[in-house]
A and B are shown apart, each in its own frame.
Chain A
Amino acid sequence: MLTFCRYGDVKCFTFHDPRVWTLVRELVGPLRAAALALEFGFVVGSFITTGVLLGRYLDDQWGTMPWLFMVGVLLGLGLSFYVMVLIFRWQRE
Chain B
Amino acid sequence: MLPDFSIKAEPICHGCEWETPLGLFRLTNSMVIMFVVMIALIVPALLVRRNVGMVPGAAQNLMEFLLEAVEGLVGSALGRFSQQLYPLIASFFILILFSNWFSLLPLVGMVGYVEVHDGHEVVIPYLRPATADINLTLALAIGAFLVIHSTGIRSHGLIGHIKSVAQNSPLLFPIFLVIELFVIVSLSFRLFGNLFAGEVLLGLANWQGWIVGAIFLVLELLFGLIQAIVFTMLTVSFTSVSIGSEEHH
Contact = CB atoms under 8 A, between A and B. Distances in A.
Contacts of B36: 48, 73, 77
A48 B32 CA distance: 11
Contacts of A66: 12-13, 16, 27
A79 to B, nearest CB: 13
Contact of A65 (B15, B39, B58): B15
B104 A41 contact: yes
A73 B32 contact: yes
A52 B27 contact: no
Chain B contact residues, majority secondary structure: loop
Contacts, number: 52
Interface in B52-82: 58
Interface in B93-113: 104-108, 111, 113
Interface string B108-140: 100101000000000000110000000000000
Interface string A50-93: 00110010010000011001100110010001000000100000
Interface string A13-28: 0000000000000000
Chain A contact residues, majority secondary structure: helix
Contacts of A73: 32, 35-36
A4 interface: no
Interface residues of B, number: 22
**Interface size bucket, A side?**
20 to 34
A13 B249 CA distance: 68
B32 A70 contact: yes
B40 interface: yes
Given A52-B126, A73-B35, A41 B106 contact: yes
Contacts of B108: 45, 48-49
Given A41-B104, A45-B106, A66-B16, A52 B111 contact: yes
A59 B15 CA distance: 12
Interface string B8-50: 0000110110000000000100001001100110011000000
B16 A49 contact: no
Nearest to B43: A81
Nearest to B105: A45
Nearest to A40: B105
Interface of A: 41-42, 44-46, 48-49, 52-53, 56, 59, 65-66, 69-70, 73-74, 77, 81, 88
19 contacts: A41-B104, A41-B106, A45-B107, A48-B36, A49-B106, A49-B108, A49-B111, A65-B16, A66-B12, A66-B16, A66-B27, A69-B13, A70-B32, A73-B32, A73-B35, A73-B36, A74-B39, A77-B36, A81-B43
